[in-house]
Amino acid sequence: MIINKRLAPKLEEDGTVEGVVCIPSWRCPPSAQSPSQLPVTPLTHESGLPEPPSNPVEPETQEDEEPPSVDGFGFEAGCLAPELSDVNDAASELFDHGEDECGVFGVYAPGEDVAKLTYYGLFALQHRGQESAGMAVSNGDRIMVVKDMGLVSQVFDEPTLNSLHGHLAVGHCRYSTTGSSTWDNSQPTFQGTPEGGMALAHNGNLTNTDELEQWLTELDAAHGVPHKVRMDSTSDTALLAAIFARLIGGQTLATAAAREVLPKLKGAFCLVFCTENTLFAARDPQGIHPLVLGRLENGWVVASETAALDIIGATFIREIEPGELITISSAGLRSTSFAEPDPHGCLFEFVYLARPDTKISGRRIYQVRTEIGRTLAMESPVDADLVIPTPESGTPSAIGYAEASGIPYGQGLVKNAYVGRTFIQPSQTIRQLGIRLKLNPIRDVIAGKRLIVVDDSIVRGNTQRALVKMLREAGAAEVHVRIASPPVMWPCFYGIDFATRAELIAPGLTVEEICRSIGADTLGYISLEGLVACTGVAKRRLCCACFDGEYPVPIPPDRVDELQNGC
C-alpha cells in the first residue's frame, strides 16, 4: 500500500486508500468531511492508573554576499585560517543562525476540534520549522494526513481544517536536518500496518541510523518485504516509521512496538505518533529537546514548547521525562520509562531556539535571556551611547545588557518578520540587498551613535559582517558586537543545523580575529560558565557540545573524521 506519495496511485476518487488518505493540502477532497465515528467519551485518565513519574525539574508547575572585511581594520582575507575561506563560500546564506529542525504537537481530546487545536499549536511552534507543515487526524477508523511544503498558514485553510474530523491528532512543522526539503520528507510520516495505520512526527536527529537501517533490513527479510522499496523519503523519521510498521501486527500492538523500538534509538528524539485510537509521545533519555504535557478540559496535549499549550488554553502539567513514553487512549494516560534518564538538555534552546514566552526547566526563556544580557554586560563592558538588539532573538539580552550597563536601550533595526525560508530564490539584484531582506536600520536612531549590538550567536559570521557594514553605512560612529552565547566551535548532531565545522567561523580564530573579520570595533562573547549560570540548570544536565565539544550521545561514525580533522 503506497500512501506517502504526492500522487498516490491508489488514491480513490473519495480520497481514501484502504481507509486511509495521505495527501497534500491542495488535494483535500470534499468527501473527507465525514463526521467522526468515535463516541465522545470524557477522559477518566487518572483513575486506577499509575501516576506519571515526578519531574526532575521544577514543574510549574544572513546573510549577504560580503567577503570578510579587508578595509580599515588591518585584516586581510589572506591572513585568515583556512577555515575562513570556506566561510566565504557559505556567505550566500541569508540566515546565519543555528536553525531549529522541527516542532511537534499532539492532542487527544474527544469532542474537541482537534484539527484546529493542532493548527494553532503548530502556529505557536512555527519558529521551529518553516519548510513544511502537516497534521494527521484520526477519527477512530482512519487516519487522515494533510501536509505540504510551506508555513502552517499556507498549508492549511479553513475548508481543509473543517474536513478533518477526529478525536486525536499529531502535528508537525519541519526544518530539514536529515533528508532534503521535499514533500516526501514532510511530516507526519504515515505507515500502513497490519493493524491499520500509524502517523509519526519527530523533532531531533537520530545518530545511529546505520544500525537502524540494518535492523530494518533484517525485519524486511523476515517479513518478505523487498528492502528499499519501503523508502519513499530520506529522513531518519521515515526509517523509524518503517521499523514501527514492520513490528506492529498480530500480537504486537503499537505500544509493545514502541517499547521495543525506543530503547534502540540513539540521538535526539521527541516523538509524537498515533494509531487510529492512541496518541503516543516519547523523549530521548537525554531529553535534549523540550517536550511538554498539557491538560485540556476534555483531553491531553503534548507539544515541543509550553507556548503551544498557552495558545490553545491548555494547562501545563509537566515536562515529559527523558526516557519516558506516554500513551493516551480511551483507557486514560499511562506513563512508562523505556530507558534510564541521563538528562542533557540543549543549551542552545535557552539562547535562541525556544520562544521567549516558553518555559524550560521551570524558567521562562525571556528571563533567562535578559539575565544573559546582564551577565554579558558585566563580563564584557564597553563605553557606548546605545544598546540595540538584532531582532528578535537578541532583544531580551539587549534589554538585560542595557539594564546592567546603564546605557540606554533602543531599537535600531527593524526585522522583516515574514522573511522565512521562502522557496523563491531571490534574483541577483535582490540578493545583493543581502541582509536588508531581513533587517533594515533606523538611521535617525543610529546616526552618530556608539552602538552596542547584541545578537544571540555567531555561526558563520556572515550576518554579523553584513550587519556591521550596514550600521556603519547608516552613520554609526562605533559598532561593538556582544554575543549572548560562547563561540560556536562544533557542529550539532542532534537536530540543529550549524552546518559543518569547516563552515563555522570560530574554530581556528581568536575572538580578536573574528572581530576583525566581521568589521566590528570590539567583540565580546558571554562565557560558557556565565551562560550556564543564567539557565539555572547544572552544567552536567545540559548539552553544551556546540560550545565545548563534549557530546552527550556518541556522534554518527561517518562524522568522526570531520571532528578529528577539524574540517
Measured from the CB of residue 49, what is the shortest distance to ligand SF4 in angstroms? Answer: 33
Within 92-151, which residues bind ligand SF4 (CB under 6 A)?
98
Q: Which stretch binds ligand SF4 (CB under 6 A): 22-30, 149-157, 175-183, 540-548?
A: 540-548
Q: How far apart are CA 321 and CA 324, in angstroms?
A: 5
Q: Is 102 a catalytic residue?
A: yes
With CB under 6 A as the contact rule, the residue among 499, 523, 545, 555 that binds ligand SF4 is 545
Nearer to ligand SF4 (CB atom), residue 149 or residue 492: 492
By CB under 6 A, residue 543 contacts ligand SF4: yes
Q: Backbone phi, then psi, for 348, in 5-degree steps?
A: -70, -20
Closest Cα to residue 395, out of 362, 436, 352? 352
With CB under 6 A as the contact rule, the residue among 546, 553, 555, 556 that binds ligand SF4 is 546
Long-range contacts of 209-213 (CB under 8 A, 24+ apart): 209/178, 209/236, 209/239, 209/556, 210/556, 210/557, 210/558, 211/264, 211/266, 212/236, 212/239, 212/240, 212/243, 212/264, 212/265, 213/239
Q: How far apart are CA 192 and CA 205, in angstroms?
A: 23
Read off the C-alpha cell for 243.
521499523
Q: Which stretch binds ligand SF4 (CB under 6 A): 12-20, 108-116, 194-202, 346-354?
A: 346-354
With CB under 6 A as the contact rule, the residue among 80, 155, 261, 347 that binds ligand SF4 is 347
- The letter for the amino acid at 447 is A
Residue ranges of alpha helices (H) inside 177-234 are: 209-223
Nearer to ligand SF4 (CB atom), residue 345 or residue 389: 345
**Are the C-beta atoms of residues 179 and 238 closer than 8 Å to each other?**
yes
**Are the C-beta atoms of residues 97 and 392 closer than 8 Å to each other?**
no
Nearer to ligand SF4 (CB atom), residue 333 or residue 346: 346
By CB under 6 A, residue 494 contacts ligand SF4: yes
Q: How far apart are CA 369 and CA 398, in angstroms?
A: 9
Distance in Å from the first CA to the final CA of the chain: 43
By CB under 6 A, residue 544 contacts ligand SF4: yes
**Are the C-beta atoms of residues 504 and 460 closer than 8 Å to each other?**
yes
By CB under 6 A, residue 343 contacts ligand SF4: no
By CB under 6 A, residue 346 contacts ligand SF4: yes
Nearer to ligand SF4 (CB atom), residue 312 or residue 545: 545
By CB under 6 A, residue 300 contacts ligand SF4: no
By CB under 6 A, residue 170 contacts ligand SF4: no
Nearer to ligand SF4 (CB atom), residue 356 or residue 381: 356
Residue in 22, 28, 102, 274 annotated catalytic: 102
Catalytic positions are 102
Residues at the interface with ligand SF4 (CB under 6 A): 98, 288, 346-348, 492, 494, 496, 543-546
